[in-house]
Structure 1
């Protein structure tokens, strides 16, 4: 990794967001560093809870050609940002694309469930959360996998 980019990332992680963004803005002018710099600018804004400022930087980073893990991180950040901004339908679509492209990325599921909840799709949100618990139970929830699976499919069933 470029040492200047690493230094700017370190500043962001230390909470020096403005200073980090200034360094990253200059790096974004260099074609080889553009996508990474834009992604880190987006994260910097996100770290401060400034989703409106983060959004265009996520989009620009993706347009700049991120691939692999960086593409995943940018899409995940953008989907979460859209959810926070109330752009629930856009967020839902992107979360679903992410889960299709990176099915092993279980960290996406709770945020997707929140988005479903925001859209009023409460049963689906519960099903996603229960499925996550079923797929990755701890020792205390392991004995309840079968019943949780049933409840995920039938959350309103009464006896």
Structure 2
């Protein structure tokens, strides 16, 4: 992947500057305070604000600052509740703190909501159900036909 060699548009634009400097841990560490400052202030467009939440949440995760990642991504979801990108990065951070069950459920919900794959779409209701009931697979004894009828009708 080729990195842009262009500098940030303006030194006073922390959201844009932070995005252009991503890629190394040192740069990520340096960009995080600018991103926090951008979120605390006013003047970001909705698109930029969303991008800062995703970028900062991801940055914290890459740096091993998982709790800050979770807090940032959840804060972003407070403003963008159905956003698939935020939910996907949240799932990765959840995995990193040992919450594999919640991480998997989150990813399954994103998959069910966003997939264009015919097979996933056909079983969307089952995927949505099991996103919240992952352990039910051991308790539910249905034949494949009964299972298919349950979630496709």
Same fold (TM over 0.5): yes
Residues 30-82 of structure 1, C-alpha deviations (whole Å, 9 max, x = no match)? xxxxxxx2212111211456311221221232344233222222222111111
Task: Structure 2 unaligned segments of length 5 or more: list them.
Answer: 142-153
* Aligned residue number for residue 103 of structure 2: 125
RMSD across aligned positions (CA): 2.2
Does 1:155 pair with 2:134? yes
Does 1:15 pair with 2:1? no
* Aligned residue number for residue 148 of structure 2: none
Which of residues 9, 30, 43 is equivalent to 1:53? 30
Residues 76-108 of structure 1, C-alpha deviations (whole Å, 9 max, x = no match)? 211111111111111112211211211242221
* Aligned residue number for residue 9 of structure 1: none
* Aligned residue number for residue 137 of structure 1: 115
Task: Structure 1 unaligned segments of length 5 or more: list them.
Answer: 1-12, 29-36
Which range moved further: 75-84 or 42-51? 42-51
